[in-house]
Amino acid sequence: MRKLFAVFKREYFSAVRKKMFIIMTFLLPVLMVGLMILPSFIMVKGMGEKTVVVLDGTGRLQSAFTRPNEPTKEEKGAAKKPTSRRRSRLPTTMKVEYVSRDGDRNLDQTAKPYLDRLTGQEKGKGLDGVLLIPSDAIAADDSKLKYYGRSSTDFITQERLASITNGAVQRIRLAGKGIDSEEVERLMNRMDIEAVQISKTGEEKKGGAANFFIVFIFAAMLVLPSFIYGLEIMRGIIQEKTDRVVEILVSSMTPPQLLIGKILGVAAVGMTQISVWILMAVVGGLFATLWLSMANVSVMQYLSIATFGYFVIFFVLAYLTYVCIYAIGGAVCNSEKEAQQLIAPFTMIMMMPWFLMAPIITNPDSKLAVIFSLAPVFGPLTMFVRTIVSDPPVWHIALSVLASIATIAAFWWITAKIFRIGILSYGKRPTIPELWRWMKVA
């Protein structure tokens, strides 16, 4: 026990005293926050500044592309009914320059100068897109809108423009059938959707994009440390091999003592780091809560005490599962490069639930999510995500935990065997059949 503790202590203090540890501990949260805020910032910014020219060949769609508070000529004429119900569908993040080209059959020609502006670098005059609405848009069946964009992948803008135009064209078509405009509005009325998650206890959580991101961050916090510290263990074992310390270690204690001491030591390092982060998060959270509550978002609606409990349980399970793979990698390889090559495909497999995070979050009770959450290796992360975004049955959770414990026991058994022989092999990396022999021999 003293030996195991000696290894534990050495692992812990040598890691915690490294500059890298201190930098990581304090810098990573800053980076994380940056990564969280930046995309939404860019998104808002990027969309807010979309400037689009609409060349309307029909000349009748102006109302759709102007905001209610800038009434059009037509509406001035028919201003008896209030436009309150008819919210402009034009998002506030889009600036539209409307050009009426009534009856223009050669829109492509007309568009030329605008297209030049599209490609031009001139500040303030730059365009993000040009929409051509052909003159036969209302009458013909096979008419097509044409959108010239700076990027063809900006499908959100395209989608919005198409939807607005179609809405406006449909209104005019309906009006053409003699339906009065109020009726048209009722027919065309669209509903907004509000996502609400209902748990068994009956509490309601508002869902949406914010929830999605918070779950993502939690999932990252759950698995990333395991990968980072798993890599650290692998590096440590290889370092001991290249420093030739291993011979002294193994002549003084059993390989399992060494392995367990190491893994617990590095785990303690991880716990230290996460404790610091949680402390920072609590402090930061207080400010964030203040700030968000002003923005009418309550952080606690996404989180509960249970979430933290689950976090600890599944964090430990994930860590103990992943770390074995890295320990084997370190034991059978002689250089970091070699080890990383060997480990890469396994890392990919372990990361599977991470790659499938989006479908799992959006569909936490789908077959895929349920199978993943009960499977070994994938279980901890997937199950944890399910506990946040859904309300899985208790037996699912229990089964997942048991599956993980069984996996860990099996992995540790294999690791201990391979570790015992691999740790002393300085030669070339063993092949899979050789590894198999090691397992049987040790």
Partner 1 sequence: MSHILAVRDVTKTFGDVRAVDGISFSVRQGTITGLLGRNGAGKTTTLRMITGIFMPDSGSIEWLGSANGTSFRDQIGYLPEERGLYKQMKVVEQLLFLAEIKGKRPASVRPAIDRWLERFELTDKRDAKVEELSKGNQQKVQLIGTLLHDPELIILDEPQSGLDPVNMVLVRNLLRDLRAEGRTILLSTHMMGEAERMADEIVLIHRGRVVLEGDIDQVRASFGKNTVHVEYEGDGTFLRDLPQVRRAAVVNNAAELSLDDGADPQKILEVCMGRLRIRKFELAAPSLEEIFIEKVGTETLPEAVR
Binding piece for partner 1, criterion CB under 8 A, among 76-84, 210-218, 248-256, 387-395: 248-256
Q: Which of residues 2-31 bind partner 1 (CB under 8 A)?
A: 2-3, 5-7, 10, 14
Among 200, 244, 367, 440, binds partner 1 (CB under 8 A): 244
Contacts of 307 (CB under 8 A, 6+ apart): 218, 387, 388
**Tokens linked to 82:** 């209030």
Nearest to 161 by CA among 93, 107, 112: 93
To the nearest whole angstrom, how small is the minimum distance from the Cβ of residue 244 to partner 1?
3
Question: CB-wise, 181 or 252, nearer to partner 1?
Answer: 252
Binding piece for partner 1, criterion CB under 8 A, among 21-29, 134-142, 166-174, 236-244: 236-244
**Tokens linked to 214:** 């918070």
Question: CB-wise, 414 or 424, nearer to partner 1?
Answer: 424
Position 323 contacts partner 1 (CB under 8 A):
no
Question: CB-wise, 112 or 440, nearer to partner 1?
Answer: 440
Exposed, middle or buried, 150 (CB in 10 Å: 0-12/13-18/19+)? Answer: middle
To the nearest whole angstrom, how small is the minimum distance from the Cβ of residue 419 to partner 1?
13
Distance CA(357)–CA(268), nearest Å, equals 28
**Tokens linked to 61:** 């769609």
To the nearest whole angstrom, how small is the minimum distance from the Cβ of residue 38 to partner 1?
36
To the nearest whole angstrom, how small is the minimum distance from the Cβ of residue 5 to partner 1?
8
Question: CB-wise, 6 or 274, nearer to partner 1?
Answer: 6
Question: CB-wise, 10 or 186, nearer to partner 1?
Answer: 10
Position 246 contacts partner 1 (CB under 8 A):
yes
Distance of CA 178 to the CA centre of its chain: 49
Binding piece for partner 1, criterion CB under 8 A, among 45-53, 91-99, 209-217, 250-258: 250-258
Exposed, middle or buried, 199 (CB in 10 Å: 0-12/13-18/19+)? Answer: exposed
Question: CB-wise, 17 or 73, nearer to partner 1?
Answer: 17
To the nearest whole angstrom, how small is the minimum distance from the Cβ of residue 9 to partner 1?
8
How many beta carbons lie within 10 A of that of residue 385, not counting itself? Answer: 27
To the nearest whole angstrom, how small is the minimum distance from the Cβ of residue 258 to partner 1?
9
Element (H, E) at 42: helix 19-48
Nearest to 254 by CA among 423, 434, 15: 423
DSSP 50: E
Contacts of 49 (CB under 8 A, 6+ apart): 93, 95, 128
Question: CB-wise, 18 or 67, nearer to partner 1?
Answer: 18
To the nearest whole angstrom, how small is the minimum distance from the Cβ of residue 17 to partner 1?
9
**Tokens linked to 281:** 């998060």
Question: CB-wise, 204 or 247, nearer to partner 1?
Answer: 247
Question: CB-wise, 258 or 385, nearer to partner 1?
Answer: 258
Distance CA(406)–CA(85), nearest Å, equals 60
Position 388 contacts partner 1 (CB under 8 A):
no
Position 245 contacts partner 1 (CB under 8 A):
yes
Nearest to 36 by CA among 207, 176, 220: 220
DSSP string computed for 189-257: -------EEE-TT--EEE-SHHHHHHHHHHHHHHHHHHHHHHHHHHHHHHHHHHTT-HHHHHHHS-HHH
Distance CA(425)–CA(115), nearest Å, equals 67
Amino acid at 72: T
Tell me the site size for partner 1, rule CB under 8 A.
20
To the nearest whole angstrom, how small is the minimum distance from the Cβ of residue 120 to partner 1?
58
Question: CB-wise, 81 or 428, nearer to partner 1?
Answer: 428
3-state secondary structure of 132: strand
Question: CB-wise, 85 or 428, nearer to partner 1?
Answer: 428
Among 214, 221, 253, 375, binds partner 1 (CB under 8 A): 253
Distance CA(410)–CA(352), nearest Å, equals 21
How many residues comprise the chain? 442
To the nearest whole angstrom, how small is the minimum distance from the Cβ of residue 249 to partner 1?
7
Position 424 contacts partner 1 (CB under 8 A):
yes
Binding piece for partner 1, criterion CB under 8 A, among 75-83, 156-164, 251-259, 284-292: 251-259
Q: Which of residues 41-100 bind partner 1 (CB under 8 A)?
A: none
Judge contact between 432 and 419, C-beta under 8 A. no
Question: CB-wise, 56 or 240, nearer to partner 1?
Answer: 240
Among 251, 294, 394, 433, binds partner 1 (CB under 8 A): 251
Amino acid at 123: K
List beta partners, residue 149: 129
The residues that touch partner 1, with contacts defined as CB under 8 A, are: 2-3, 5-7, 10, 14, 240, 243-253, 424
